[in-house]
Structure 1
């Protein structure tokens, strides 16, 4: 992205305050602080605070507008992505990933280099019927969150979380870091353990010639059987231990053979 962006979550005519609280918590997971309520159909009480748990920032700093007119008057220029699960006449709905890629590749707001963040509103409708046709009149893009089961209806807070995650996945952001300042991402494999190398050494000590160029040989077959089935860390450690022990025993046996021949 040539230009920084600011994500604001917009909940329209929300019915249940607990979903507003849970959305605030989801926002804290995704690095979004600005929560906007348009004509909410509920009051914000202790139930919303409970649902927000450790993610109170969005809830406590929320902005409430009585109508779309007030929203449009007071909110800055933005790209508004409205989420809907209904696809019908006048609703050109695409998967969120497709919409986000389209925006980053073609939206003029992001084609210019600027240090000024541009606002992106992610808009979600009420829990009963979602956004209406009148709501979608304000959308720059209509997006849906793909589902893979028979139930295509998502809880509001879950929908906001998935929408923000899709955006972060494609557009980036500052990944959460652990207390030790390390990224919350574990390295592949186990440090100091390399069954792939040990397997080759073991086969060579067993007397197999691995230098010959073959599409399939004993090494490729065993490697596929032992290492390409996503073994657990414990299984990798056990495999490494068995192979290393076998290598030591083979080398000891070869050493005794040499002494006997002398």
Structure 2
């Protein structure tokens, strides 16, 4: 499994060290840090025997850089949808349901974790193809970063053998751009376009599209566009 763990602007070096230890516990090593805090003695101490994962982490300045070569981006959230942003945080799968969704496919997948104090921005959540949320008590639903990483990696470490390759990240990006172009060409209501675009991204994201499926979808869109009346 080509699974990448992405930490977005982690605040505490001890958490980063603990995350690397959890990654090594379950056999993962691809770690990308977006604008992390300073990683010094505490991070090294908490990483224990996972120092190689800590030292091998890639540092980038934006989330888009961290996921540019990824076919499926999975966002984590301790808060599920509200009436104000439910289209951004739904549907939210449990880690076990997420494992079932990913069974049988291969490719580059990223699980991204937000800031310890306020998680993700809405724009960052819109970059995600799927959302996962760990069921917790309503009294205190937000987990420690390293604990959340550990639970999710525990589930994903036992995903069934991956055989069907996911579509390439670049081709999926072209599909989403093509869908946005189609919405424009059919004069889709402007006030609905952003939510609809995100909804389509989530639908196809959880479908775990294969290369042939992406090409077929783009072929259908081209056929539709040819049938549209000329302006």
TM-score tier by shorter-chain length is 0.5 to 0.7
* Unaligned ranges ≥5, structure 1: 111-116, 174-262
| Shift in CA distance, 132/53, structure 1 to aligned 2, threshold 3 Å | same
Shift of 1:60: 0.8
Q: Offset of 1:172 from its aligned partner?
A: 6.5
TM-score (norm 1): 0.55
Displacement of 1:125: 0.5
Give the CA deviation at 1:151: 2.7
Q: Higher Cα Rg: structure 1 or 2?
A: 1
1:31 alignment counterpart: 27
Higher RCO (CA-CA < 8 Å; seq separation 6+): 2
Does 2:18 align with 1:14? no
For 1:148 and 1:165, how far apart are their aligned partners in 2?
Answer: 20
Match of 2:80 in 1: 87
The residue number in structure 2 matching 1:138 is 127
TM-score where L is the length of structure 2 = 0.62
Choose which of 72, 77, 81 in structure 1 pairs with 2:70. 77
Q: What is the rounded CA distance, in whole Å, between the counterparts of 1:85 and 1:126 in structure 2?
A: 12
Cα separation, 2, equivalents of 1:48 and 1:172: 33
Structure-to-structure mapping, 1:205-216, within 5 angstroms? none
Mapping of residues 191-230 of structure 1, within 5 Å? none
Confirm or deny: 8 A CA contact 1:22 1:157 kept in the other structure: yes
Q: Judging changes above 3 Å, is the alpha-carbon distance between structure 1 residues 43 and 143 closer, same or farther for their aligned structure 2 residues? A: same
**Mapping 1:1-262, distance limit 5 Å:** 5-40=1-36, 42-73=37-68, 76-88=69-81, 89-90=86-87, 91-92=89-90, 93-104=92-103, 110=105, 118-148=107-137, 150-171=139-160
**CA shift for structure 1 position 100:** 2.6
* 3-state secondary structure, aligned to 1:171: coil
C-alpha distance in 2 between matches for 1:64 and 1:56:
16
Matched-pair contact (CA < 8 Å) for 1:97–1:170: no
Q: Is the 8 A contact 2:79 2:141 kept in 1?
A: no
**Does the 8 A contact of 2:70 with 2:110 survive in 1?**
no
* RMSD of Structure 2 on Structure 1 (CA): 2.0
4+ runs deviating over 6 angstroms: none
Q: Residue 28 of structure 1 contacts residue 57 of structure 1 at CA under 8 Å; is this kept in 2?
A: no
> Offset at 1:85?
1.1
1:170 positional shift: 3.8
1:30 and 1:122 mapped to 2: Cα distance?
A: 14
Q: Aligned to 1:151, what secondary structure does the other structure show?
A: coil
Q: Quick check: 83-92 or 28-37, which moved more? A: 83-92
* Equivalences, count: 156
Instruction: Report the secondary structure of 1:126's partner residue.
Output: coil
